[in-house]
Amino acid sequence: MTLPIETPALLFSATSLILLAYTNRFLTIATIVRGLKSSYEQNRNKSILVEIKNLNLRLTLIRHMQMYGVLSLFFSVFAMALLFGGIMDWGAYIFGLSLLLLLTSLAVSFWEISISVKALRVHLSDLLDEAEKNK
């Protein structure tokens, strides 16, 4: 199997943008957690604890998304080094591994997004119930 050295290089821009998006999600959730913690300290509302637990799971998933994304980029670069060194078979296998790691990162991202959507739907259902009462 022959794999041109340019093929693993194609992952650079995509993986970099994905990692940037993951970092932005992490920073946004971290800001929300800080605000909820301060709100909980003032109100001692148990629903805030449930929301913080949900956000904690999402932070863990984002950490895994980032880890798999970084490993994907690492193995993509390693594959390029092997291909540059003329070790074509191992370069192709390592590149395949980098693709699997990127797919894993994207799958975990999908999981995290689905949790986020469910949490937003809970908030929206409260508002929709309130809107129905006010009709």
> N- to C-terminal Cα distance for the chain?
67
Q: 73 lies in a domain?
A: yes
pLDDT in tens, the chain (135 residues): 677 777 777 777 788 889 899 999 999 998 988 888 888 888 887 777 888 888 999 999 999 999 999 999 999 999 999 999 999 999 999 999 999 999 999 999 999 999 988 888 877 887 787 778 877
Helix, strand, coil share (%) of the chain residues, nearest 5: 90, 0, 10
Number of domains in the chain: 1
Residue 123 · residue 93 · CB < 8 Å: no
d(CA 31, CA 66): 18
Structural domain contains residue 100: yes
- The answer to whether residue 51 sits within a structural domain is yes
* Residue 1 lies inside a defined structural domain of this protein: no
